[in-house]
Structure 1
């Protein structure tokens, strides 16, 4: 397996970390608790919709990477710069995705049934891109480098599973109140800075492997 391939554990952990975004975590109790009252299957449908959105992103990005495999050297340089940039954005809390960050994420929440839940989940998968931008962009960048559609779909499916587990726990657990969510949110900055440092190190390691390892 090439070094660009993403470990399933890393992809899953990235999905869990993405839920801790300050513009996602505080909204989840409102979205999911209300959805549970409109049918026990509706939260599952929402999570499925979000997972489909992220998995399709993996397929599209992998196809893009496969199309540019002839220019892999340039693609790797772009990937290194992008991942380091995403890491710096997280470390210094610089928002690169403000343009859509305040879109109405609760649209369609009052509809009943799993079908509307699925459609809501598909929408949220797109609307939440600003919130999970640096982590998701880094995952998609690595997927593009690998250039395998099947592997890309699997990686983003695993990422989606990491995203889905906390959502389902929130939806079906009476013990996770809004106040507890706010308590968890207090540590969001620390999580983001830690993830930013990891991304910077990954980008620097990729640059070393691609351009400097021959010096030793």
Structure 2
């Protein structure tokens, strides 16, 4: 299944405990649409801790903003709040202090994190590795990425209007995949090959690689 374009988004909210669960659900939904199911748990944990920091150290009901984007192949999560004095700190795991424990969790699951002071607010951010090879690639590996590029091309040839509207929808990508397979079968027959034999062999390769957990090369 294809995924939607990974366009940055942000959401304003009030820092209240009941908002945390709602923000976690929104993050799960968006990451699912982005094809990043494998980092959902870590992303939700980061959102929980960054928002909880605002609630605890800045105050209940503080106007804040959650922003999620791709920074290269990293998933970037940012939380903005208006207090430039209450800075998140990292506390050692064996400390008796309760403060900083949340950032210790963020530090443990992310590749990097930090705090940026702006003119009238601060931004606490963190970045999670996604194992993608490029911004628009897929976790399925190079083969899935190459297939997506072919499907985009076919979809734009069959429906030129898609060329200005980003990546194909899942339904359009599936239809393009069927057209690609049919065209390849025509090519095989035109060159004196047996399309049924090629399909059987391709299916055997696919099933063997799926069973072995091969992502392609």
When normalised by structure 1's length, the TM-score is: 0.27
Higher helix share: 1
When normalised by structure 2's length, the TM-score is: 0.27
The one of the two structures with greater contact order (alpha-carbon pairs below 8 A, sep at least 6) is 1
Higher strand share: 2
